[in-house]
Amino acid sequence: MELTATSNARSICRETSHTDCQKVIMPVRDALDVISGKWKLPIIIAVSSGHKRFRDIERSIPRITSKVLSKELKDLETHKLVKRTVYDSQPVSVEYTLTPYADTLNSVIDALHRWGLQHRKKILGR
Amino acid sequence: MELTATSNARSICRETSHTDCQKVIMPVRDALDVISGKWKLPIIIAVSSGHKRFRDIERSIPRITSKVLSKELKDLETHKLVKRTVYDSQPVSVEYTLTPYADTLNSVIDALHRWGLQHRKKILGR
DNA sequence: CGGAATCCAATACGATACTG
DNA sequence: CAGTATCGTATTGGATTCCG
């Protein structure tokens, strides 16, 4: 295992070279690219909540446009977080579902959620 | 405690109302706003590594410009992650240091780091 | 229904120069 | 040294319309 439970990115960076430091930043930026942006999380949560059809997802997320939804769903599919299934019915219908892999994001979302909660209190005052 | 060790943002969203779901998304976006972007992490790591002076930080981060560094340092100061100290020497010098509060980001950065590492392997293949 | 096409606004980021 | 000013580019998100 490359990282023990007690190690962390910053302590690594304090102790090692600049190029190793880059090796820490890169995975973090990879992860951020997948979940940051205005719509990724709302979409993940909408699909997770049982909204499977394109219009269904669209209606469940206030102020999103079809263009943005279309693009973000493609991104999420590329990252194997969302599965797109086309059914040959009349008319054809498309279903979006989360992959099992999407569950691996839970630890990340939890960490962000917890930190964000206390940070809001800290910055805005109690 | 509002969140137990076994709960997480997505399971909450599956089980509760839309407005409660928003309450989960907001803190996550708060957290993301603080650390996302191209330069936040490199700057945090540079300061954490002992680079305290403006030019020092600037030189330690390839391709960053003074304009961007200036703006990002202000943001980080606003979020109480970085402390700016002006010394009345001749000429005046300015020192940037991480606050103790910045250490609370470790859990977030760790989660992102771990997930990012395995995700890169998953997407690019071994 | 499930999008794609087009056009537009806002923001992030970059290059270069300059100041106290 | 520690920034600011100005300008330009690039990416992102939004509004609207259209299509099979």
Bridge partners (DSSP) listed for residue A97: A83
Whether pLDDT at A6 is above 80: no
Check whether residue A59 and residue A101 sit in a common domain.
Answer: yes
- pLDDT tens for residues A68-117? 999 999 999 999 999 999 999 888 999 999 999 999 999 999 999 999 99
Bridge partners (DSSP) listed for residue B106: none
Check whether residue B10 and residue B57 sit in a common domain.
Answer: no
Residue B100: per-residue pLDDT: 97
**B100 DSSP assignment:** G
Residue B18: per-residue pLDDT: 65
Check whether residue B41 and residue B86 sit in a common domain.
Answer: yes
> Among A19-23, A35-39, B82-86, B96-100, whose mean pLDDT is lowest?
A19-23
- pLDDT tens for residues B96-124? 999 999 999 999 999 999 999 999 999 98
Closest CA to A58 of A70, A49, A50: A70
Q: What is the CATH number of the domain that holds A73?
A: 1.10.10.10
Check whether residue B69 and residue B98 sit in a common domain.
Answer: yes
Confidence of residue A23 (pLDDT cuts 50, 70, 90): confident
Check whether residue A44 and residue A71 sit in a common domain.
Answer: yes
Q: What Å value separates CA B33 and C1' D5?
A: 26
Average pLDDT over residues B17-25: 73
Check whether residue B51 and residue B62 sit in a common domain.
Answer: yes
Check whether residue A31 and residue A45 sit in a common domain.
Answer: no
User: For residue B98, what is the enclosing H or E element?
Assistant: strand B93-98
What is the distance between the alpha carbons of residues A51 and A45, in angstroms, rounded to a whole number?
9
Confidence of residue A24 (pLDDT cuts 50, 70, 90): confident
Instruction: State chain B's maximal CA–CA distance in angstroms.
Output: 62
- DSSP, collapsed to helix, strand or coil, labels residue B24 as helix
What is the distance between the alpha carbons of residues B74 and B83, in angstroms, rounded to a whole number?
10
Check whether residue B43 and residue B6 sit in a common domain.
Answer: no
B-chain residues near A3 (CB < 8 A) = 110, 113-114, 117
Check whether residue B5 and residue B43 sit in a common domain.
Answer: no
Check whether residue B26 and residue B55 sit in a common domain.
Answer: no
pTM (two decimals): 0.89
**How many domains are contained in chain B?**
2
Residue B68: which nucleotide is closest by CA–C1'?
A: C13
Average pLDDT over residues A41-51: 94
Residue B15: per-residue pLDDT: 54
What is the distance between the alpha carbons of residues B14 and B20, in angstroms, rounded to a whole number?
10
From residue A54, alpha-carbon distances to A51, A63, B77 in Å are 8, 14, 41
Whether pLDDT at B37 is above 70: yes
Closest CA-bearing residue to C1' of C15:
B65
Closest CA to A28 of B39, B29, B67: B39
Check whether residue B9 and residue B52 sit in a common domain.
Answer: no
Check whether residue B32 and residue B56 sit in a common domain.
Answer: no
Confidence of residue B7 (pLDDT cuts 50, 70, 90): very low
* Structural domain containing residue B104: 37-124
Whether pLDDT at B10 is above 60: no
Q: What Å value separates CA B42 and C1' D2?
A: 19
Average pLDDT over residues A22-37: 92
B35–A contact, CB cutoff 8 A:
yes
What is the distance between the alpha carbons of residues A61 and A73, in angstroms, rounded to a whole number?
13
- DSSP, collapsed to helix, strand or coil, labels residue A69 as helix
Per DSSP, helices labelled H in chain B are: 9-15, 18-35, 40-48, 54-60, 66-78, 106-124
